Amino acid sequence: MIQDKIVPAAEVDPIHYDRGIFFGDGVYEVMRSYDGKLFALDEHLRRFANSLSAIEITGLDIDEIRVRVLKAFDAAGIANAKIYFHVTRGSAPRDRGWDDNLKPNFFLNLSEVADNTEDRTKGIAVSTHPDWRWKRCDIKSLNLLANVLATTDAARKGCGEAILVDEAGLITEGAGSAFFAIRGQTLQTAPLTANILPSITREFTLKAAGNVGLQIVEESLTVEQAACADELMIASTTQDTVAVVKFDGKPVADGKPGKYAKLIAEEFRLFTA
């Protein structure tokens, strides 16, 4: 049955048997363009290849994925585009095990990047949430239910992002972003482990921070340390870098984007030119 309609099994579109639907058995990537130029394409494709390898999806040529991305981007004609694509293991009757002969399913969607000028100018509020995700967040998996629940909880509190906290009380990252604290002349963020996505935007943010004179410390933060930081920031593909001006209902410093958040944002933009 599909919705309220009985459909003979032989007539069901194979997409309804996609293992991505049954199990979240797939990986995805999100990238963007600036003024008609794709940003960090090689880095995103490299990470996508690593994700595919980690969950043992084979039979795909990354160079062919590149061709598909470029073809879709050229056809869309969107100067500032968000490009989402995923690969699932394929379609088959529901069974946790898989047949090595399955043909992977590919999907790509382009849309215009939402204007977040107000967030970048004024900063955003964030709230903490327990990190309920699985233990391989370094893989960009389709399993995002924990992220969805955390993001929804933050939105209901009037916040623009959820900051995830593990069982030890340490901040891992945002539900859809990397998270940073600036304390004095130091920018601190969690180190890359199995619990942290190797974010492309994180990588460029760290470069930008170094370029403006900050020392980089990759060490996990407690909630208490974040709450008393001089500045807080998030970074993601579709938002670039954004200052956090309220953390769990309390202002960060004077409640306005700080000096370094502004400098890092300016430096980051140079990478995208």
Active-site positions read 140
* CA nearest to 59, candidates 17, 127, 106, 12: 106
Query: In sequence order, which ranges of 55-158 are alpha helices (DSSP H)?
Result: 62-76, 117-122, 145-156
Q: Report how far apart, in Å, the C-alpha atoms of 240 and of each of 43, 72, 97 are.
A: 16, 23, 39
3 DSSP 8-state letter: T
Q: Please, which residues bridge with residue 34 across strands?
A: 37
The one-letter amino acid code at 97 reads: G
Residue 179, classed as helix, strand or coil, is strand
171 CB burial (10 A radius; 0-12, 13-18, 19+): buried
Strands 186-189 vs 105-112: parallel, antiparallel or unpaired: unpaired
Handedness of CA 201, 207, 212, 216 (dihedral sign): positive
In whole angstroms, what is the distance from residue 52 CA to residue 113 CA? 26
In whole angstroms, what is the distance from residue 186 CA to residue 183 CA? 5
* CA nearest to 103, candidates 114, 92, 113: 92
